[in-house]
Amino acid sequence: MKTITLTVNGTAYQETVAPRLLLVDLIRERLALTGTHVSCTYEGACGACTVLLDGDAVKSCMMLAVQADGHSITTVEGLAVDGQLTPLQQAFKEEHGLQCGFCTPGILMNMTDFLKKNPRPTDAEIRHGLIGNLCRCTGYINIVKAVRAAARAAAAQTGGQ
């Protein structure tokens, strides 16, 4: 067993874990943050488990919890502050960017990182950015729309800069 410290959604945790525990299982089973989903389990192909690791979108099923020692994680629960949705979450709601919602947390986390690095994406760039997230409801058209709307809303807020 190994004791690790990490920050999840701004809260510091100290956890004693087996080295084989996956990061996604620490998040879901120990910290009870079940917004992070698991779908493909070991191919690392579906993106449902995507979280931010020090700001970068990564698949939490592809990491051991011990690797996150000393790092900062953000999960979908950490996006809204005091119930106030982020522009990206708001856009998913308004543009009907989700159907069953299973893929949505992973997509929100990936696109949060994506829009931070590319605030004015083209549709082609949005689609390229979404490759690592599968939506089994195949609602990609509205997902792309929602990301585009979020980018526009953010641009409008900053005065179109």
CB 132 within 8 A of CB 94: no
Question: Rule CB under 6 A: is residue 45 a binding residue for ligand FAD?
Answer: yes
Nearer to ligand FES, 3 or 41 (CB): 41
Among 7, 30, 39, 44, binds ligand FAD (CB under 6 A): 44
Nearer to ligand FES, 12 or 66 (CB): 66
- Least distance (Å) from another protein to the CB of residue 27? 15
Q: Which residues, 6+ apart, have CB-to-CB distance to 139 below 8 Å? A: 96, 97, 98, 99
Task: Compute, in degrees rounded to 10, the torsion defined by CA atoms 33, 27, 106, 6.
Answer: 110
Question: Rule CB under 6 A: is residue 40 a binding residue for ligand FAD?
Answer: no
For the four alpha carbons of 81, 97, 25 and 116, in that order, the dihedral sign comes to: negative
Nearer to another protein, 81 or 131 (CB): 131
Among 9, 50, 74, 104, binds another protein (CB under 8 A): 50
- Angle between the 104-117 and 87-94 helix axes, to the nearest 10 degrees? 130
Nearer to ligand FES, 11 or 42 (CB): 42
Nearest residue to 65 (alpha-carbon basis) of 8, 11, 114, 134: 8
The residues in 97-156 that bind another protein, with binding defined as CB under 8 A, are 110, 113-114, 128-129, 131-133
Binding site for another protein (CB under 8 A): 2, 18-20, 22, 41-44, 47, 50, 53, 56-59, 61-64, 66-67, 69, 110, 113-114, 128-129, 131-133
